[in-house]
Amino acid sequence: MKQYLDVTDIENLPKLIDEAIALKKNPFAFETLGKHKTIGLLFFNSSLRTRLSTQKAAMQLGMHCMVMNFTSEAWTIEFEDGTVMDGGTSEHIKEAAAVVSQYCDIIAVRAFPTLTDKEKDQSEFVLNNFKKYASVPIINMESATAHPLQALADAITIMELKQTQKPKVVLSWAPHPKALPHAVANSFTKMMQKMDVDFVITHPEGYELDPEVTKKTPIMHNQKEAFKDADFIYVKNWSNFKDYGKVLNQDKSWTITNEQMSVTNNGKFMHCLPVRRNMIVADEVLDSEQSIVIQQANNRTFSAQVVLKNILEELEK
């Protein structure tokens, strides 16, 4: 693995998941692989799980980890080419990415979308500029349109807990008071398309995700019908994609309650977290045994660790 910008960078998913599950059993099996290697974690946005799990993963591989809150601790970055930098930005991404590459063997970046400038967000201008100007492998810790470390943790979780050969997995939209990105929904969709699962998306009409992501995945506007006999219910809010970044719907009949779960096949409840209780999901579901969100969060460590392990092995070649 040469980078991990998107789930499309995965060459062999079943093998990767097996490796991750092996690492979970023996987290320090490769603790000399990362010796004398440094990873830089660059944050343009808040993070809890991603930050801690990636640090933990790096540590378990013997790597040295440097964390930087880019916006508050470093300089404001210019991403446009050819600009006369006489305004608010102090450093161009060309220099920033090239310089950090001098100090780090791998760079991991988190940068959320604007949710106001669709074209800019879809171009992944932060992540792709890091990719373009860095001289070391880049890992996506959630970008404008993708969260592949989360999707890999989700895949690991489903493989660990599935009871049937080909489980039914439903991705459901749920209401939220603020405009949220499409990254998690996109990457989860792409990941499910790579797996041997019966995958369905359900959301209110008009809340379609990027059609280049959903492709031929069935989309249903009747949540209850979609949930029927489902083994895994993956819930996430996203803002409108067509009327970009808008919150057009907060319909709480889409909030996941015991009633919704009752038609599933004793389905497991999944969410990437952080989750707003009693907006996205009722306490009764999140606090029940059907909820596997904590195991899912735990798998973030092994998702990050297996990606780091594969990139380190590639670096050694």
**Token duo for residue 98:** 């090239």
- Binding a second copy (rule: CB under 8 A), the pick from 10, 23, 34, 78 is 78
For residue 259, which amino acid is it? E
Q: How far apart are CA 283 and CA 193, in angstroms?
A: 30
Q: How far is the CB of 279 from a second copy (least distance, A)?
A: 5
Q: Which residues pair with 91 in a beta bridge?
A: 77
25 sits in the region (left: phi over 0; alpha: psi -120 to 50; else beta) called alpha
Question: Cα separations (Å) of 228 from 134, 204, 251, 265, 291?
Answer: 47, 17, 20, 7, 17
Q: State yes or no: 176 annotated in a binding site.
A: yes
Q: State yes or no: 51 annotated in a binding site.
A: no
**Subset of residues 230 to 259 that bind a second copy, contact rule: CB under 8 A:** none
Read off the DSSP letter of residue 178: S
Q: By CB under 8 A, tell whether 313 contacts a second copy.
A: no
- Binding a second copy (rule: CB under 8 A), the pick from 11, 258, 277, 314 is 277
3-state secondary structure of 84: coil
DSSP string, 223-292: HHHHHTT-SEEEEE----TTTTT------GGGSB-HHHHHTSSSPEEE--S---BTTTB-HHHHTSTTB-
**Subset of residues 89 to 118 that bind a second copy, contact rule: CB under 8 A:** 89-92, 94-96, 98-100, 102-104
Q: State yes or no: 273 annotated in a binding site.
A: yes
Query: 222, 148 in Cβ contact below 8 A?
Result: no
Q: How far apart are CA 171 and CA 190, in angstroms?
A: 12
Q: How far is the CB of 226 from a second copy (least distance, A)?
A: 24
* Nearest residue (CB) to a second copy, 110 versus 190: 110
Q: State yes or no: 150 annotated in a binding site.
A: yes
- Binding a second copy (rule: CB under 8 A), the pick from 13, 21, 33, 52 is 52
Per-residue x/- track, 283-312, a second copy (CB under 8 A): x--xx-----xx--xx--x-----------
* Nearest residue (CB) to a second copy, 63 versus 201: 63
Q: State yes or no: 187 annotated in a binding site.
A: no
Q: By CB under 8 A, tell whether 132 contacts a second copy.
A: no
Q: Could you list the residues known to form a binding site for carbamoyl phosphate, using ranges.
A: 47-50, 75, 110, 147-150, 272-273, 300
Given the rule CB under 8 A, which residues bind a second copy?
A: 27-28, 36, 38, 40, 43, 46-49, 51-53, 55-56, 59-60, 64, 66, 68-69, 72-75, 78, 81-87, 89-92, 94-96, 98-100, 102-104, 177, 273-279, 283, 286-287, 293-294, 297-298, 301
